[in-house]
Amino acid sequence: MRIEVSERTLRAGIREFLRHKNWPRDFHADFYARQRRRRAAGLTEEWWSRTVGELSRWRAIRPLSRAEVRRRGLRVLSRLDEAYELLPAEGTEFGEAKWNDLSELFDVTSSIKVTLRPSPVFPSKLCHFIRPDLYVVVDREATGVSERYEQSWTECSTAWRAAAPIHAALCRQLTKAAGVPLPPTYPFATKITELCMIGTRVLARTVRRHDEMR
């Protein structure tokens, strides 16, 4: 399904997001601020222990236990930190980032949760926790998932870049929905793109239901 980044799909994505009572009304602004503070000293053991808890709350580690994910992550923590340090500098525009510069971190995070049915959900969420400005979350239920995250990421980056004339309007729309000032470090580009992915799916389902009723 083609991703449409527009005011229309953002409105639909925001409505769907807010329909989930356990999803934060500030669109994870507090969460991003916490994660930013936690990784200020790099990707340390303390950071990892706290992040495993967050991954569990985001329903990303099933069917593994927290203890197992923590153990697996500790085995590759130095590689994870090295890949993190090689990422483009903060402030790099999401639409201008290159997948080749991001793929190493994704590969390391993918190695933490190896299951019979590989999925990009866990690594996309962990990479998003590490650099929310560069990686978009994918989820089977909310956004839909391509088995190849690189393909989904490229489509998201292209869609965001194509919407450049309305970026400011989209940021205002999300800030208004959040009801609180969103800080300059808030990952507007990836969060808006994620919400537009959700909105695109919601609107497509509505059209299908309408067609089935005709």
**pLDDT attached to residue 140:** 73
Residue 77, C-beta contacts closer than 8 angstroms, at least 6 positions apart: 43, 44, 45, 48
Provide the 8-state DSSP code for 180: S
Write out the two tokens for 163: 């919407």
Q: Using CA atoms, how far apart are residues 114 and 145, in angstroms rounded to an integer?
A: 17
For residues 105 and 98, what is the distance between their CA atoms, to the nearest angstrom? 13
3-class secondary-structure state, position 76: coil
How far is CA 114 from each of CA 22, 135, 139, 151, rounded to the nearest angstrom? 28, 20, 17, 20
139 — phi, psi (to 5°)? -150, 140
Q: What is the pLDDT along the chain (214 residues), one digit of tens a residue?
A: 688 999 999 999 999 999 999 999 999 999 999 999 999 999 999 999 999 999 999 999 988 999 999 999 999 999 999 999 999 999 899 999 999 999 999 999 999 998 767 789 999 999 999 999 999 999 876 556 666 899 999 999 999 999 999 999 999 999 999 999 999 999 999 999 999 999 999 998 765 554 444 5
Number of Cβ atoms within 10 Å of the Cβ of 172: 12
C-alpha dihedral sign at 109, 151, 100, 33: negative
CA angle at 126 for the pair 187 and 74, rounded to the nearest 5°:
140
pLDDT, residue 205, reads 72
What pLDDT, on a 0 to 100 scale, did the predictor assign at position 144?
62
For residues 60 and 122, the answer to whether their CB atoms sit within 8 Å is yes
Put residue 182 in one of left, alpha, beta given phi > 0 → left and psi -120 to 50 → alpha.
Answer: beta
User: Which residues are paired to 144 by β-bridges?
Assistant: 139
Q: Is 139 helix (H, G, I), strand (E, B) or coil?
A: strand
Length of the chain: 214
